[in-house]
Amino acid sequence: MSGRTEGGAVERQQERFWNESNAILTTNPLLDATGVVKTYGAVVALRNASLSVLPGEVHALMGANGAGKSTLVKILTGAIRADAGHILIRGEARDVRSPADARRAGLLPVYQEPSLIPDLDVASNLCLTDTPVEAFRAWVRELGIPDLDIRDIARDIPLAVLRVLDLARALAVEPDVLLLDEMTAALPANLAERVLEVVRRQGDSGRSVIFISHRFVEISALCDRATVLRDGETVGVVDIEPGVEERIVEMMLGARIEKTQRTAHQASQAASPRDSRPRLGVANLRVGTKLNDVSFDLANGEVAGVVALEGQGQDELFAALAGSIRPSGGTIEVDGQPVKFAHPADAIRAGIAYVPGDRTEALTMQRSVRENIALPFSAALRNWGPISMAQERSRVVSAIERLQIDTRAQREVQRLSGGNQQKVTIARWIAAEAQTILCFDPTRGIDVGTKQEIYKLLRELADQGKSVLFYTSELEEVQRVCDRVIVIFGGRVVDVFPVELADEPALMRAAYGLPRGVKVDVGILADIHSSPVAKP
C-alpha cells in the first residue's frame, strides 16, 4: 500500500500518521499478492496480477473469460506455482508450494467441483483433512441442512448439498482467508441465501473472503471491494458501491470498448432469403441443473452467436443439440419436425454437425487427414462396405482445398498445427455437407490468420444457406461473424441482440445478467441492499 523506500524514519512516521488517520489503512492486508506472472509455453496466463485482501473484508475477484482468475486462484492455493511474483500472508513472504502449504498459512479454497471423495462417507472425508467434526456439524446446521448423517457415502449426496458440505468443511477449520469460486452456482435459492449470509458474517468476524462470482447481484450485496483482472493483469481495485457495475464492465473490457470492426454480415442479410420456417427450433430446452430454459430459432442462412460466461449452460446446450446428452425437458425441431436425439448419429442424420471446442475430442490423432475428414461417411451401417476411393478422394480434396489445410504432414493429424487441426474438424462436416453446424469456440488457441479464415468460412457457409450456431468466448468475434447474438446467463436466454446493437460492452453487460440499455443505477441496487443478505 505504501512505497517502502530505504530506511527513512520520516517516511515511517508519515506512514503511521496515515494509517491512524485512515481506518482502512491501519490494518495490513491479510493476503497480499503482487506482480504474479504465469506463462504456459508461449501463452501468457498472468502478466502482472495483484490481489490484496484486508482483514474482515469480502473481496470480489472479477474478470471476463480467460482473464486469468482461475490461474491466480490456483497459484494462491498452491495448486500451481507462479513464474514470478510475491505472496505475503500477514506481511510475511510465503512460498506456497502445495495446497497443504496454503492450508497451513490459513488460506482455504472451496472450488466449483465438489471435493469430497465420492466413495467415502462424510466422516471419513472429514478425517482425511483433519476437520473437527463438531465444528463441521455446527456449520452444516448453520448453513441450512439440519438432518445430515455423516455416515452417508458422498456419492449418494445431491450436488447442492455437497457444495454446502465443502463450505462447512472449510469453515470448520476457521481459515483466515476463505476462497469461494462460484459458490452459489447450482445452489437452490434457500441454500444460496444461507450461504451468502454466512459469508457476510465471516467478514464481520474479522476473517476475509475472496469471492469469485459472475453475479453482480451477489457481489453488490456481499462484497466490500473488487479486484478486476483483464488479460492476465490487475486493471483496477474498486469499492463496491451503487453504480459501480458500469465501471467494472468498462475495466473488464478495457481499450476494446470502442473497437468494433464490421465485416461481411450486411451483405449476407440481403443475400439470404429467410425461410419462414426455421432450420432449428429450440423451445424451453432444459438439461440437468445447468440449462434451465432456453428457446430460440436458427434460420437458414444465419450465423447465430451464443455468448455466455463460463459454465452458464452453453456446453449442455450444444451437447444436447448434437445428440451427445439427452435433454431433461423441452423440444427441438428441425425444419419444423420435432426430433429426439439419442446419439450423435441421430443429429447427424438430421443434418446437424457438432464441432467441439477441444480439437482432441473430435480428431483421431494417429490417423491421416483424409481418414479424419472421411470418418462420418463410414459411420452408418450401410456404409461399412468397400469405400469408393476415387469418390472419397475428390470429396476430401475439395474440402481440404476449400479450407486451405496444410497437408504436408497429413499422414498423422497429430503432426499438424493447432489451426490446421481445427480446420480438419470443420472440413469433415463441409465434406459431409451438413446443413447446420454447431461451432463451439472454434478459434480458441489458434493463430490470427487461421481465425480470419474460419470467420470467412462460416460467413460463406451461411451465404450458401447453411445455418451456424457459433459459441464464442471472444466477444469481438461476434461482430465479425454473427447475424444475431443469443446471450445465456444462468441457463436461460437473457437477451437476443441483432448484431448492430451487439457491441462488446452491451454483450458483456448482458452476459453478466445486467439489463440492456439503461445505465445500471441505484434502482436495482437499492432493492438488493434492503434484502436480508444486505450489509448490516
Residue ranges that bind another protein, judged by CB under 8 A? 322, 324, 343-345, 348-349, 354, 356, 360-367, 371, 374-381, 383-387, 389, 411, 428
How many angstroms separate the CA atoms of 287 and 488, rounded?
Answer: 14
CB of 318 to another protein, least distance (A): 11
Residue 378 or 531 having the CB closest to another protein = 378
State the DSSP H helix or E strand holding residue 235, giving kind and residue range, or none if neither: strand 233-239
CB of 294 to another protein, least distance (A): 21
Residue 242, judged by CB atoms within 10 A of its CB (0-12, 13-18, 19+), counts as middle
Residue 246 or 392 having the CB closest to another protein = 392
Dihedrals φ, ψ of 427, to 5°?
-55, -35
CB of 374 to another protein, least distance (A): 7
Residue 126, judged by CB atoms within 10 A of its CB (0-12, 13-18, 19+), counts as buried
Is the CB of residue 185 less than 8 Å from the CB of residue 112?
yes
CB of 378 to another protein, least distance (A): 3
CB of 372 to another protein, least distance (A): 8
Least Cα distance to 463 among 263, 305, 270, 276 occurs for 270
Residue 123 or 345 having the CB closest to another protein = 345
Residue 274 or 411 having the CB closest to another protein = 411
Residue 150, judged by CB atoms within 10 A of its CB (0-12, 13-18, 19+), counts as middle
How many angstroms separate the CA atoms of 311 and 318, rounded?
Answer: 12
* Cell 472421411 belongs to residue: 374
Residue 440 or 512 having the CB closest to another protein = 440
Residue 215 or 359 having the CB closest to another protein = 359
CB of 363 to another protein, least distance (A): 6
Is the CB of residue 334 less than 8 Å from the CB of residue 352?
yes
Least Cα distance to 483 among 314, 335, 263, 269 occurs for 269
State the DSSP H helix or E strand holding residue 345, giving kind and residue range, or none if neither: helix 344-349
Residue 241 or 361 having the CB closest to another protein = 361
**HSE toward the beta carbon, residue 296, CA cutoff 13 A:** 23
Dihedrals φ, ψ of 88, to 5°?
-105, 130
CB of 22 to another protein, least distance (A): 57
How many angstroms separate the CA atoms of 324 and 157, rounded?
Answer: 25
CB of 316 to another protein, least distance (A): 16
Question: How far from 195 is each of 20, 51, 415, 437, CA to CA, in Å?
Answer: 34, 24, 49, 41
CB of 391 to another protein, least distance (A): 13
Residue 3 or 385 having the CB closest to another protein = 385
Cell of 155: 456419492
Residue 381 or 448 having the CB closest to another protein = 381
CB of 379 to another protein, least distance (A): 4
- First CA to last CA distance, the chain: 28
Rg (CA), the chain: 26
Residue 273 or 385 having the CB closest to another protein = 385
Strand partners, 496: 486
